[in-house]
Amino acid sequence: MGITSSNKQIDQSRIDCDGSLQVSLALSAAPDIVSNPTDIVLILDRSGSMAGSPLANLKEGAKAFIDILSESTGGAPDSIGSGSRIGIVSFADTATADTQLITSVADLKDAVDSLSAGGSTNHAAAFTKASELFDPMSSNARVMVMFTDGKTTAGPPAAPVADAAKADGVIIYCIGLVGSGGIDVATLELWASQPPASYVLVTPDDADLEELFRELAQNISKTGATNIVIDEVVAPDFLIVSMSSPTKGTATMLDSRTIQWKIPELGVSGNEGAALSFRVRHIAQEPGVKAVNASITYSDSEGNTVVFSDPQVTVECAVVVVAEECPKPVEFDVERCQDGVVIDAGDVYLESAGRIVQLDAVVKQVCPGKEVALAILLSELDENGQEHQRGMKAFTLPAHNFPTCRDVEVRCVKFVVPEGTGDDGDPNFLCRVRRFRARLIAHNVNTDYECCQSDVTVL
């Protein structure tokens, strides 16, 4: 049966800007249908919308499926061999078991040819009837192939019935034809085994049905997988920080964003799974909903088509307010063989010998939609412990629109603190240690508070 499932998951749905999460890759495979006998139920839609060429092409597709399974199992002429069996269930208003699980190719094809279109579409009844065909005492693998051309128009929702079958170990494939009533691809993906890309086939043209059934039969018939190579590249906003040994094969970090996982064989002699986990850290500064991987490719010697899911994580970064921009530079060139150059760098106001003190601060838990007034007061202590004011700056921090209260970072608040005149004649005046104090005051600018109103009545 080749690769029977593949998945990619992350252990966190939300992380901080510098947070990390664990990524898990998993896949499973099963041997070919000869060494892994399988019971297969074809569930065929015969509702009224199937009348005409859709039903005719469905019949050709289902019969091609039966022929390929017969050839793959190596049975006697006109037979499904190696212990495998096929059953036919058709449905419209209700569902009918047109055959039980049997091996006769002729009887299976006769059941398919006898289908006629009419009625509404009851998917729940179809899944229920298909489940009833399986023998709970049989050790055979179990597969359902649901074909439909429309949405449910009769009976209860089918998802609970499909989920119960999958929980019992049944593999479900879905083939969808975009019929006159349209088709809900998301619902097919909900019914099918995971990931949907490996178990759901959809076409707008009923002429494609025979090819889709052939493709599915060949996939079910093939052996496990050999010489597997998986190349995982994480997105540029992430970095791989650690990796565990895989349960099968070997994995190598080719660089800080790339892992290559090789498995010599999987599911060749029996049902088998493999898993690999690694941890990535977010390294960008921008928040948002981000895909963890940039790409992931799969190949093996059998030509299995494997699609991994593409998990996304919400990254929450603190709101950043840059209070002051750096001064604009004056650009100039010094020509070759030129020993000196004179540059007019423009006017600089309030010139004084001194130092620049740059302060960063975090205003904690600012709620959404609230502007914040922030004042920063800078003072200096002299050698006697006396405090002298050196400056004050005030800012209005813009409101943010995160759904919850967030910390707001205020960066690059700069004060120029002159050194004085050095009248004491100290030659190390500019190298002395200076002690400063910074005080921060912050409060909400806007509020929904209103003063109490009172009406006074004079009698």
240-245: average pLDDT = 95
Instruction: Give the model confidence (pLDDT) of 260-287 as tens digits.
Output: 999 999 988 777 899 999 999 999 988 9
Output DSSP code: residue 18. Answer: T
**C-alpha closest to that of 82 among 223, 213, 266:** 223
User: Does residue 423 have a pLDDT over 60?
Assistant: no
- How far apart are the C-alpha atoms of 210 and 57, rounded to whole Å? 6
Q: Which residue has the tokens 């017969």?
A: 70
Residues ≥6 apart with Cβ < 8 Å to 450: none
Where do the domains of the chain lie?
2-31+224-316, 38-221, 320-330+351-421+433-444
Instruction: Give the model confidence (pLDDT) of 371-415 as tens digits.
Output: 999 999 999 888 888 888 989 999 899 988 888 888 888 988 988
28-45: average pLDDT = 87
pLDDT of residue 416: 86
At 226, which helix (H) or strand (E)?
A: strand 225-234
pLDDT of residue 251: 96
Least confident residue range of 87-91, 93-97, 270-274:
270-274
User: Does residue 455 have a pLDDT over 90?
Assistant: no
Q: Is 399 left (phi over 0), alpha (psi -120 to 50) or beta?
A: beta
| Residues paired with residue 89 on neighbouring β-strands, in sequence order | 43, 97
- Phi/psi of residue 152, each to 5°? -65, 125
User: Does residue 156 have a pLDDT over 60?
Assistant: yes
Least confident residue range of 101-105, 118-122, 332-336:
332-336
- How far apart are the C-alpha atoms of 297 and 289, rounded to whole Å? 23
Q: How many CB atoms lie within 10 A of CB 150?
A: 22
- How far apart are the C-alpha atoms of 99 and 106, rounded to whole Å? 12
| Residues paired with residue 225 on neighbouring β-strands, in sequence order | 266
pLDDT of residue 335: 82
- Phi/psi of residue 411, each to 5°? -120, 150
pLDDT of residue 422: 47
Q: What share of the chain is helix, strand, coil (3-state, %, to 5)?
A: 20, 40, 40
Burial class (CB within 10 angstroms; exposed 0-12, middle 13-18, buried 19+) of 376:
buried
CATH fold of 38-221 reads Rossmann fold (3.40.50)
2-31+224-316 shares its CATH topology with 320-330+351-421+433-444: yes
232-254: average pLDDT = 95
| Range 2-31+224-316 has CATH code 2.60.40.680 | yes
pLDDT of residue 133: 97
Class in CATH terms, 320-330+351-421+433-444: mainly beta
At 45, which helix (H) or strand (E)?
A: strand 38-45
241-267: average pLDDT = 94
Top-confidence residue, 335 or 168: 168
pLDDT of residue 428: 52
- How far apart are the C-alpha atoms of 29 and 298, rounded to whole Å? 14
